[in-house]
Amino acid sequence: MTDLFLKTEDLGRLIASVRDGGARFIAPSTDARQTAFKEVSGADEVVSDYILATNSYKEFLFPQTEVISTHKVMKDSVELKGVELEAQGTVIFGARPCEAASLAALGAVFTWDFVDEFYTKREADTVVIAVACTRGDDACFCTTVGLSPDATAGVDVMFKEADGGWAVARLTDKGSTFVEKHKDVFEKTACAPKPLFYPEKIKGVDVEKIKERLSNKGHYEDPVWPELARKCIGCGACTFTCPTCHCFDIIDEGTAYEGERRKNWDACQFDHFTLHASGHNPRDTQYKRWRNRFMCKFKFYPDKFSSKGCVGCGRCIRVCPVRLDITEVMEEMSKLP
Amino acid sequence: MENALRKKARELLQNGEVKVVIGYGFNRRGTHVTPVFITKPEDVDRLVFNPRCVNNLSVYLTRKFKDIRAIGRPAIVAKGCDIKNIVVLIAEAQLKREDVYIIGMACNGMVYRQELWKGELKPEIMPTKCHNCDVRYPHLYDCVIGDKPAFVPPDKPVGMVFDKIKALDKMDSSGRWAFWVEEFSRCIKCYACRQVCSLCYCERCITEKNMPQWIETSAHPKGNLSWNLTRAMHLAGRCTFCGECERSCPVNIPLNLVNKKLIQVTEEAFDFRSGYDEKAHPPMIVFSPDDKENFIK
């Protein structure tokens, strides 16, 4: 239902109302260096003239680093303690519809064979308010992967920019409950939203054809891979800003007597990601690692979870130090053998 | 200039002197300049040179890139600042001078980031290194493309990086500490700074050595600080201020401040500037009886 309206000046009231209820309010905020999702305490910290925040909001559901257990070695015993997570209610404001669609991808992997409560507990208590896109840039490609600037997947409440505020639509039960809880700040007026920014669909790219080509085993060793990924320098900027990348590493930190076990983001682009204890590395050169990331997005993921591995937000293109553009590879891979 | 570059590249590939030309070209949509690897003479027209050729391609000469080394002897399109890194690679025995054909480019400055390019190279969109550049005409090369630029660097270095270092130097140590803890708190440990750096050529970085784990790999304040300090220390006396790490940082940590300060300190202490002489070893790896520090004697 899109019969509600939030006045620009009432955003502060919404933030206060959310925070009074004990939840954190996450929104894009600009400091001296960048526009990024962070916890805000007032409307003056929230920006609206952004395309996408530098970080994806996944870090509020799946932090870069978190303690999952602690250990202590004593004279004749060892004390192990698991961490019982008590998730804080979280409202994500200003997500773009593309990245909101990534929630399905994260949820699928964290509940697949083992329910990762560190993720599910946080997700259960998170409300996603997306703001439909009225601006974009040449790295945006949501329309090419079947999404749009007002796609609804993963969105609880959709805001659309309008004169003097936002038109508000409740899309899920979670969203309805949220709006009901803070109903005093919304007005019951319908209004016309501003026109949206639709990135041009990239010619010659077809996600289905990509999957078909990647399914052909003969193409795994296609000589085009080393060429396409030759310039990749093997950093983790793409994976760490990607809203659907979810790989993590478990490490122990501390002294010989006590310490903690942590779950840290990891990236398939790092050369030691698949390094075996024997010294063997099945992905021993960079193009194999890059190929893996691409196949994860367009083959493994859709096959296993029937959800999107890539949502077309374009962050990986924007942050890449060598401008390795995933859409160029998509174009190449759309050509059936 | 581009025609001369393409002509040279074609010639080198045709006569077999090199197997690959590492240079700059446009991406498919023509919106950005990106590294290209030309292996066939008929592809040389892809090569471009303009103020958006910001990448320091010398990283592709390091042993991190086995696939590129496997192609054969490379020629590299390099600006003076990029050549400084090649000089260090030679000085540190990572490369023999004859292993690479350097196509030096006379340069009138680059943009700080490609996104700033609006069709004209204005001083305010150029990085500090360009404002003080003394190698706009290359200093080590096999050939040079372009005429000698008229630019003369100022006597006293100018630019935002120097202004900020002065401001930081004026702070007390707790103020500086707070500044850096805040900046490093954003670090996501993507290691783009390390991967893009041609002088970070270790096949196994100390952060990846986990028996024992020397550096905490978690992206918490302590882990971030230890990574960023380690990176800085490992580049002391070696860094040439090419600025690639800061350009690549997805969370905009002002690494140029760290790098330039290190350069100032090593220059003052050892009277050494990295990247100018391929026969001179960096001060941190040599012992000299003339060393003015006497604590060790």
B212 near A CB under 8 A: no
- Nearest residue to A33 (alpha-carbon basis) of B10, B286, B257: B257
- pLDDT tens across A276-333, in order? 989 899 999 999 999 999 999 999 988 888 778 999 999 999 999 999 999 999 999 9
DSSP A126-161: EEEEEE--S---TT--GGGGT--TT--TT-SEEEEE
Subunit contact B191:A236, Cβ cutoff 8 A? yes
What are the C-alpha distances in Å from B210 to residues A209, B203, B260? 42, 14, 30
Q: Where does the pLDDT of residue A90 fall: very low under 50, low under 70, confident under 90, or very high at 90 and above?
A: very high
Residue listed under structure tokens 């990295």: B274
A250 near B CB under 8 A: no
A335 near B CB under 8 A: no
Q: In the predicted model, is pLDDT for residue A10 greater than 80?
A: yes
A262 near B CB under 8 A: yes
Q: Give A-chain residues touching B37 at CB under 8 angstroms.
A: 227, 230-231
Lowest pLDDT segment from A200-204, A254-258, B292-296:
B292-296
Q: Where does the pLDDT of residue A335 fall: very low under 50, low under 70, confident under 90, or very high at 90 and above?
A: confident
B67 near A CB under 8 A: yes
How many Å apart are CA A326 and CA B8, to the nearest integer?
Answer: 31
Give the pLDDT confidence score for residue B289 in this predicted structure.
77
Q: What's the angle, vertex CA A66, arms to CA A60 and CA A72, rounded to 5?
A: 160
Q: Give A-chain residues touching B188 at CB under 8 angstroms.
A: 55, 64, 236, 240-241, 265
How many Å apart are CA A88 and CA A234, to the nearest integer?
Answer: 35
Residue B275, Ramachandran bin (φ over 0: left; ψ between -120 and 50: alpha; else beta): left
Subunit contact A331:B192, Cβ cutoff 8 A? no
Burial class (CB in 10 A: 0-12, 13-18, 19+), B268: exposed
How close B29 comes to chain A (CA, Å)?
A: 9
H-helix or E-strand spanning residue B256: helix B255-270
Q: In the predicted model, is pLDDT for residue A2 greater than 70?
A: no
Q: Give B-chain residues touching A270 at CB under 8 angstroms.
A: 191
Per-domain residue ranges for chain A?
A: 4-333
Q: Give B-chain residues touching A231 at CB under 8 angstroms.
A: 34-37, 60
- Nearest residue to A115 (alpha-carbon basis) of A123, B225, A301: A123
Tens-digit pLDDT profile for chain B (297 aa)? Answer: 899 999 999 999 999 999 999 999 999 889 999 999 999 999 999 999 999 999 999 999 999 998 999 999 999 999 999 999 999 999 999 999 999 999 999 999 999 999 999 999 999 999 999 999 999 999 999 999 999 999 999 999 999 999 999 999 999 999 999 999 999 999 999 999 999 999 999 988 998 887 778 888 899 988 999 999 999 999 999 999 999 999 999 999 999 999 999 999 999 988 899 999 999 988 888 877 777 766 665
Subunit contact A240:B190, Cβ cutoff 8 A? yes
Beta strands in B107-152 (DSSP E): 143-145
Between chain A and chain B, the number of residue pairs with CB atoms below 8 A apart is: 116
SS3 (DSSP) at A269: coil
- pLDDT tens across A110-124, in order? 998 899 999 999 999
A35 near B CB under 8 A: no
Q: Where does the pLDDT of residue A1 fall: very low under 50, low under 70, confident under 90, or very high at 90 and above?
A: low
Per-domain residue ranges for chain B?
A: 2-145, 160-285
Give the pLDDT confidence score for residue A105 in this predicted structure.
87
- When pLDDT is averaged across residues A4-14 and rounded to a whole number, the result is 94
B229 near A CB under 8 A: no
Subunit contact A237:B248, Cβ cutoff 8 A? yes
Structure tokens at A187: 């007005």
How many Å apart are CA B171 and CA B180, to the nearest integer?
Answer: 12
Give the pLDDT confidence score for residue B68 in this predicted structure.
93
* pTM value surpassing 0.90: yes
